[in-house]
Amino acid sequence: MVNYSDSLGRTFAALVDPTRRAILARLEEQGEATVSDLARPFAIKLPAVMKHLDVLDAAGLVTRAKAGRTVTVSLRPDPLRAARDWLARYERFWTASLDRLAAFVEGDPANPLKPTAAKE
Protein backbone atom coordinates (compact mmCIF):
# COMPACT_ATOMS: atom_id res chain seq x y z
CA MET A 1 0.00 0.00 0.00
CA VAL A 2 1.21 3.49 -0.81
CA ASN A 3 2.08 5.67 2.18
CA TYR A 4 0.47 9.09 1.71
CA SER A 5 2.08 11.83 3.74
CA ASP A 6 -0.40 14.61 2.98
CA SER A 7 -3.92 14.72 4.36
CA LEU A 8 -5.60 15.09 0.96
CA GLY A 9 -3.79 12.00 -0.32
CA ARG A 10 -4.82 10.02 2.76
CA THR A 11 -8.42 11.15 2.29
CA PHE A 12 -8.61 10.04 -1.33
CA ALA A 13 -6.77 6.79 -0.55
CA ALA A 14 -9.32 6.03 2.17
CA LEU A 15 -12.24 6.81 -0.14
CA VAL A 16 -11.05 4.37 -2.81
CA ASP A 17 -12.49 1.36 -0.99
CA PRO A 18 -16.28 0.77 -1.24
CA THR A 19 -16.45 -0.72 2.28
CA ARG A 20 -14.91 2.43 3.76
CA ARG A 21 -17.29 4.62 1.75
CA ALA A 22 -20.21 2.53 3.05
CA ILE A 23 -18.97 2.96 6.62
CA LEU A 24 -18.78 6.74 6.12
CA ALA A 25 -22.28 6.77 4.62
CA ARG A 26 -23.68 4.93 7.65
CA LEU A 27 -21.94 7.34 10.01
CA GLU A 28 -23.32 10.28 8.04
CA GLU A 29 -26.84 8.90 8.47
CA GLN A 30 -26.52 7.82 12.12
CA GLY A 31 -24.07 10.35 13.53
CA GLU A 32 -22.17 7.68 15.43
CA ALA A 33 -22.20 3.90 15.78
CA THR A 34 -20.41 1.16 17.62
CA VAL A 35 -17.85 -0.90 15.75
CA SER A 36 -20.14 -3.94 16.05
CA ASP A 37 -23.04 -2.02 14.51
CA LEU A 38 -20.83 -0.82 11.67
CA ALA A 39 -19.56 -4.35 11.00
CA ARG A 40 -22.99 -6.02 11.02
CA PRO A 41 -24.06 -5.47 7.37
CA PHE A 42 -20.73 -6.51 5.85
CA ALA A 43 -19.75 -10.02 4.82
CA ILE A 44 -16.30 -9.57 6.37
CA LYS A 45 -15.00 -10.37 9.83
CA LEU A 46 -14.67 -7.81 12.62
CA PRO A 47 -10.84 -7.60 12.35
CA ALA A 48 -11.22 -6.56 8.68
CA VAL A 49 -13.68 -3.83 9.67
CA MET A 50 -11.20 -2.68 12.32
CA LYS A 51 -8.51 -2.37 9.62
CA HIS A 52 -10.86 -0.26 7.50
CA LEU A 53 -11.51 1.93 10.54
CA ASP A 54 -7.74 2.27 11.05
CA VAL A 55 -7.41 3.65 7.52
CA LEU A 56 -10.34 6.03 8.03
CA ASP A 57 -8.87 7.15 11.36
CA ALA A 58 -5.41 7.72 9.84
CA ALA A 59 -7.06 9.89 7.18
CA GLY A 60 -8.83 11.87 9.92
CA LEU A 61 -12.25 10.87 8.60
CA VAL A 62 -13.46 9.25 11.84
CA THR A 63 -12.84 9.44 15.55
CA ARG A 64 -13.15 6.57 18.00
CA ALA A 65 -14.09 6.74 21.66
CA LYS A 66 -13.88 3.78 24.02
CA ALA A 67 -16.18 3.31 27.00
CA GLY A 68 -15.45 0.01 28.70
CA ARG A 69 -15.43 -2.60 25.95
CA THR A 70 -17.54 -0.56 23.55
CA VAL A 71 -15.87 1.52 20.85
CA THR A 72 -18.02 4.23 19.29
CA VAL A 73 -17.08 5.71 15.92
CA SER A 74 -18.05 9.21 14.71
CA LEU A 75 -17.62 10.95 11.37
CA ARG A 76 -15.17 13.86 11.04
CA PRO A 77 -16.25 15.78 7.92
CA ASP A 78 -13.34 18.26 7.70
CA PRO A 79 -11.14 16.10 5.42
CA LEU A 80 -14.15 15.51 3.15
CA ARG A 81 -14.69 19.25 2.91
CA ALA A 82 -11.04 19.73 1.95
CA ALA A 83 -11.40 17.05 -0.76
CA ARG A 84 -14.59 18.68 -2.04
CA ASP A 85 -12.88 22.07 -2.19
CA TRP A 86 -9.92 20.60 -4.06
CA LEU A 87 -12.23 18.91 -6.60
CA ALA A 88 -14.26 22.10 -7.04
CA ARG A 89 -11.14 23.88 -8.33
CA TYR A 90 -11.05 21.44 -11.27
CA GLU A 91 -14.78 21.25 -11.92
CA ARG A 92 -14.58 23.66 -14.84
CA PHE A 93 -12.39 21.19 -16.73
CA TRP A 94 -14.85 18.32 -16.68
CA THR A 95 -18.04 20.41 -16.83
CA ALA A 96 -17.29 21.55 -20.38
CA SER A 97 -16.53 17.96 -21.43
CA LEU A 98 -19.76 16.69 -19.88
CA ASP A 99 -21.71 19.48 -21.59
CA ARG A 100 -20.22 18.46 -24.96
CA LEU A 101 -21.04 14.81 -24.27
CA ALA A 102 -24.65 15.69 -23.41
CA ALA A 103 -24.94 17.78 -26.58
CA PHE A 104 -23.57 14.90 -28.61
CA VAL A 105 -25.95 12.35 -27.07
CA GLU A 106 -28.98 14.62 -27.34
CA GLY A 107 -28.22 16.35 -30.62
CA ASP A 108 -26.19 16.57 -33.77
CA PRO A 109 -23.05 14.41 -33.61
CA ALA A 110 -21.44 16.60 -36.30
CA ASN A 111 -21.77 19.66 -34.06
CA PRO A 112 -21.76 18.61 -30.38
CA LEU A 113 -21.74 22.20 -29.20
CA LYS A 114 -25.12 22.91 -30.83
CA PRO A 115 -27.86 20.43 -29.87
CA THR A 116 -30.65 19.89 -32.35
CA ALA A 117 -34.29 20.59 -31.53
CA ALA A 118 -36.25 17.76 -29.93
CA LYS A 119 -37.99 15.54 -32.46
CA GLU A 120 -41.71 15.00 -32.17
Q: What is the dihedral of CA 75, 80, 81, 87, to 10 degrees?
A: -170
Buried residues in 12-36 as b, exposed as e (16+ CB within 10 A): bbbbeeeebeebbebbeeeeebebe
- CATH code for the domain defined by 7-77: 1.10.10.10
The residues spanned by each domain of the chain are 7-77
- Is the pTM above the cut of 0.85? no
Question: pLDDT tens digit string along 41-65?
Answer: 999 999 999 999 999 999 999 999 9
Nearest to 12 by CA among 63, 60, 65, 53: 60
Question: pLDDT tens digit string along 64-75?
Answer: 999 999 999 999
Report helix, strand and coil shares of the chain as percent, to nearest 5: 55, 10, 30
